[in-house]
Amino acid sequence: MSVLKIENLSYVYNPGMPSETKALDNINFEIDEGTFVGVIGHTGSGKSTLISHLNGLTKPQTGRILLDGKDIWKDYENIRDVRFSVGLVFQYPEYQLFEETCYRDIAFGPKNMGLSEEEIDKRVKMAAKFCGVTDEMLAGSPFDLSGGQKRRAAIAGIIAMMPRVLVLDEPCAGLDPEGRELILSQVKRYHDETGGTVILVSHSMEDIANYADKVVVMQNGAVYKYAPTEEIFRDAETLAKMGLGIPDVTKVFIKLREMGVDIGTDVYTIPYAVKTLLKYKAKKEAEKNA
């Protein structure tokens, strides 16, 4: 059974006002437990509005969100219980750090869950270690941290709740390549080590290509496509035409094909590019020798 199901979800901001904006237009898809799902689309395509529904932060105007087959607004006693299962890391989560120490910030979620002091302490230390937050950083103010460190501390606060579904809204926005890599590899490790479900919103095809099992492509508030990553990239030329930045390595293969090289363009990671080129080379050599 799917862990999350989004059913006929539509959403309009400021209904009936001149500023009325249709943000979501009949979204339907479901996510199997343990899947790493990438959500991609232009700014304004509805990504943030969509994921704010997944943990009950936004209430559907039309449609339903099902967690383990149960309507999060009808079949759960308290929406808080849903929030402990579906952990949402907002865009720029560092703005939500507010405690005196980093430790207390990370402990905030587990405390709300009503865990014992001992369990809270264990969770904070586990999450801090996981996110590269040192003991020294834990003892200090979150406001003394660098941008990337703050971001990691904020993510640790969600990880400390050990959510079954970890949802991140553009967690790498504004970070340098090193900071991006750090965060993405932590998210990947969370996925691999806990077997949990991850939903990663990004406008970087490069990030999605390297980590996601399946991809949701959003366009104008609707799901343009939802498919396994390799299937999404088989259609890389269409994505490029939509103006979604496709990975550089994919661009190279599209160019090669345009130049008349008989080669697939569904290449989106470096290891797969190497494999494809070696295969192509072997094929050409076999043709020459035949």
Write the binding mask 185 to 224 for ligand ADP: x where contact by CB under 6 A, - elsewhere. ----------------------------------------
Which of 1, 14, 16, 290: binder of ligand ADP (CB under 6 A)? 14
Distance between CA atoms of 273 and 253, rounded to whole angstroms? 8
Binding site for Mg ion (CB under 5 A): 47-48
Binding site partner of 21, from Mg ion, ligand ADP, none, Cβ cut-off 5-8 A by kind: ligand ADP
Rg of the chain (C-alpha set)? 21
Q: Is 13 in the site for ligand ADP (CB under 6 A)?
A: yes
In the complex with Mg ion, which residue's Cβ is closer, 84 or 90? 90
For the segment 26-55, give every residue that binds ligand ADP (CB under 6 A).
41, 43-49
In the complex with ligand ADP, which residue's Cβ is closer, 47 or 83? 47
In the complex with Mg ion, which residue's Cβ is closer, 47 or 151? 47
Binding site partner of 45, from Mg ion, ligand ADP, none, Cβ cut-off 5-8 A by kind: ligand ADP
Smallest separation, CB 167 to ligand ADP (Å): 13
Smallest separation, CB 41 to ligand ADP (Å): 5
Q: Is 23 in the site for ligand ADP (CB under 6 A)?
A: yes
Distance between CA atoms of 70 and 104, rounded to whole angstroms? 33
In the complex with Mg ion, which residue's Cβ is closer, 27 or 124? 27
Q: What is the distance between the terminal CA atoms of the chain, rounded to a whole angstrom?
A: 52
In the complex with ligand ADP, which residue's Cβ is closer, 46 or 60? 46
Collect all residues with Cβ–Cβ distance below 8 Å to 35 and sequence separation of at least 6. Answer: 197, 198, 213, 214
Binding site partner of 44, from Mg ion, ligand ADP, none, Cβ cut-off 5-8 A by kind: ligand ADP
Smallest separation, CB 114 to ligand ADP (Å): 32
Q: Is 62 in the site for ligand ADP (CB under 6 A)?
A: no
Smallest separation, CB 99 to ligand ADP (Å): 27
SS3 track for the chain: CEEEEEEEEEEEECCCCCCCEEEEEEEEEEEECCCEEEEECCCCCCHHHHHHCCCCCCCCCEEEEEECCEECCCCCCCHHHHHHHEEEECCCHHHHCCCCCHHHHHHHHHHHCCCCHHHHHHHHHHHHHHCCCCHHHHHCCHHHCCHHHHHHHHHHHHHCCCCCEEEEECCCCCCCHHHHHHHHHHHHHHHHHHCCEEEEECCCHHHHHHHCCEEEEEECCEEEEEEEHHHHHHCHHHHHHCCCCCCHHHHHHHHHHHCCCCCCCCCCCHHHHHHHHHHHHHHHHHHHHC
Binding site partner of 49, from Mg ion, ligand ADP, none, Cβ cut-off 5-8 A by kind: ligand ADP
Binding site partner of 56, from Mg ion, ligand ADP, none, Cβ cut-off 5-8 A by kind: none
In the complex with Mg ion, which residue's Cβ is closer, 48 or 194? 48
Residues of this chain that bind ligand ADP (CB under 6 A):
13-14, 21, 23, 41, 43-49
